[in-house]
Structure 1
């Protein structure tokens, strides 16, 4: 029996978040009975429970702002070590999601080596580039990432672009890496076109099915909202731009409003968040096109979901997006008028070309990103 301890997600059952969804589906779709999963869960108490045949252990973490996640990972790691020792578990793997605890890892790595425990790390994306962090936190992230790379037995990258970056930037450590993508599922929403709650959402937001472009994602500058909104305002499209995001009247929203004056363009509609996954799936299906401006990080879950659901996907031309979308999407650059011109072109696509793009996008998901494939890849890795 191979015991795999997963720490770094907030835990399961998943309520939100890419890592949480990953752990939820990795464990739900488990095939090989020779793997036993142990998953840490952030909590207000220390306890244990079982969920879909997984041993979940709650870790009590004090609420200390942005430092809480670091403390959580350290406490989770200590609990894994305690449990492995107490149960005399041999040949275990501890899989840490994200590189938060680099400054603390060397001490624990010595213990793990002596115990015969392998340390796997998912480096996630370029967390140190994210604008939500101030200068000092970004410096911490970069330093922490370096130390996690240095001490990991294996780095599991969910993007070939991230894997190449790790090998190049940290060549001095000769990092051992492997690539296993994030997953998605091609399926039709269970929500019917005449659903009352869907109709209510359409009416409330004045949205017409198949007559809007869609953006779904965190409302942060590195997702290039300003670029996409400016370019959409320049376009001649008679469709709407529907933006599903956690705006909440934050500073970035107000700055964007002042810079672009998008409130004067009736096509641009901020509609808040949609937590109902069936609804969100249907909204994606009914979009004429999906805009994706993310340029930080690896394989982005919202992009995979768009490729699985939306027929036409317009992606910012960066290595991570090109790797995922391949020939199943069309691309724009950050130069002026690039996206505006593309939008005008996409508006004129005929049905056959739209369906061709849709088929290619869904084939990308089925062939390279299905959860069945991802789970198989992970189980093979853990057992071998």
Structure 2
């Protein structure tokens, strides 16, 4: 499993997926190797997964690809030493330039293409062109493409006439949370609105803050998150907040128990993500029973359906939704319960891992090839 920061999962959706899928494959008797970067786990294995740590160039444009390149070279050396992998799972289409090396090694490979990365405003025109080219390379050189949302499947079918395997993420279902953590942070259940997001324009943190500030809400807004390489956008968001005493920026929260308590205790969770397919933060909020106000794009409607959330397209619509939730907290609570039920039925990690296992078996047996994904 290559192309992410690895495990233990401390960062984002890809890392969580690697951990949840990898530990289940290991428990099922498979030998799982995860390539990692960053903070080291003290043991050579984690939850049954073998960990290989390699460095990366710590710059926005080079970090992921440099680490993946070293990982693939390590895999090449292992293959020469007769210890090579039967199947590779590559995460992030941005890593597609490494695929020809894996092909040279005759290692069948599936690429999890993620969302529409080229739409992210943090990338310049050159960056956008790179991501569009990387998508085409993923189609050309992968034996299978993994899409975590039907909307992503539609995109690859329409743009590349390429088939994908639909495997979503799983949702953690919270049956209880540490309310003491919430109290220590100064909040009570149902007593605040919540945003959890990396500070990037396509996550619409600015719309969340602007919409809330326009509202007559009495309950405070708690904003969790930050982002590397995003100082200008962070300044913009905080300028929109102004001196509104109702708005608190907590920065990154790495205490998972506290984060779960925030999700479960929020009157509403405001979800502005728009380009990433099935979003793990949205699934976590649903699994916690949060009442979701989501930016109105096809990915979010696909995950929430029509009963488990409300949608907004701009700050004015969000302000109205926030006020409506405070006026009728019972209805907001009912939507949160519907969201948890939907997550528990549709986004199950055991099912996700089983789908990855079937895919790996198909790759090893040659039942999925580049011809297959190109629809020929």
TM-score, length-scaled by structure 2: 0.87
User: Does residue 20 of the first structure (1) align with residue 15 of the second (2)?
Assistant: yes
Of structures 1 and 2, the larger Rg is shown by 1
- CA distance, structure 1, for counterparts of residue 155 and residue 120 of structure 2: 16
1:68 to 1:225, Cα distance in 2 relative to 1, 3 A? closer
Find 2:211's aligned residue among 231, 236, 242.
231
| Cα separation, 1, equivalents of 2:39 and 2:283 | 33
Q: CA 1:198–1:110 in structure 2 vs 1: closer, same or farther (change >3 Å)?
A: closer
- In 1, the alpha carbon distance for the partners of 2:264 and 2:176 equals 8
**Which aligned pairs between 1:77-156 and structure 2 lie closer than 5 A?**
77-87=72-82, 92-106=86-100, 108=101, 110-112=103-105, 115=106, 117-156=107-146
User: Mind listing any 5+ residue stretches in structure 1 that lack a counterpart?
Assistant: 1-5
Q: CA deviation at 1:344?
A: 2.3
From the two aligned structures, give the one with the greater strand fraction. Answer: 1
**Distance in 1 between residues matched to 2:59 and 2:251, nearest whole Å:** 28
1:264 alignment partner, SS class: coil
Alpha-carbon offset, residue 355 of structure 1: 4.1
Please say if 1:339 is aligned against 2:318. yes
Residues 215, 292 of structure 1: 8 Å contact kept: yes
CA contact (8 A) 1:44 1:59 kept: no
**Number of the residue aligned with 2:234:** 253
Given that 1:125 and 1:297 are in contact with CA atoms closer than 8 Å, whether structure 2 keeps it comes out as yes
Does the 8 Å contact 2:295/2:311 carry over to 1?
Answer: yes
Q: Deviations over 1:257-282 (max 9, x none)?
A: 44x3x223222221222110011111
Query: 1:138: how far off?
Result: 2.2
- Once residues 380 and 288 of structure 1 are traced to their aligned partners in structure 2, the CA distance between those partners, rounded to angstroms, is 40
1:199 correspondence with 2:209: no
Q: Is the aligned partner of 1:184 residue 2:171?
A: yes
Contact 2:194 2:268 in 1 (8 A): yes
Structure 1 residues 337 and 64, CA, compared in 2 at 3 Å: closer, same or farther? closer
C-alpha separation in 2, matches of 1:240 and 1:110? 53
The answer on 1:375 being equivalent to 2:368 is no
1:275 maps to 254
Match of 2:28 among 25, 33, 38: 33
Alignment-derived partner of residue 369 in structure 2: none
What does the per-residue CA deviation read over 1:336-369, in whole Å, with 9 as the maximum and x for residues that have no partner? 6222222222222252x34432232112111111
CA distance in 2, matches of 1:218, 1:39: 25
- Normalising by structure 1, what TM-score? 0.85
**Aligned residues between the structures:** 360
CA RMSD of aligned residues (A): 2.6
Asked if the contact 1:244–1:272 (Cα under 8 Å) also holds between the matched residues in 2, the reply is: yes
The residue number in structure 2 matching 1:357 is 335
SS in 2 for 1:133: coil
Show CA shifts across 1:204-243 (max 9, x none): xxx4441211000101111112222222222222221111
Question: How far does residue 64 in structure 1 lie from its aligned partner after superposition?
Answer: 5.3
- Cα separation, partners in 2 of 1:359 and 1:256, compared to 1, 3 Å: closer
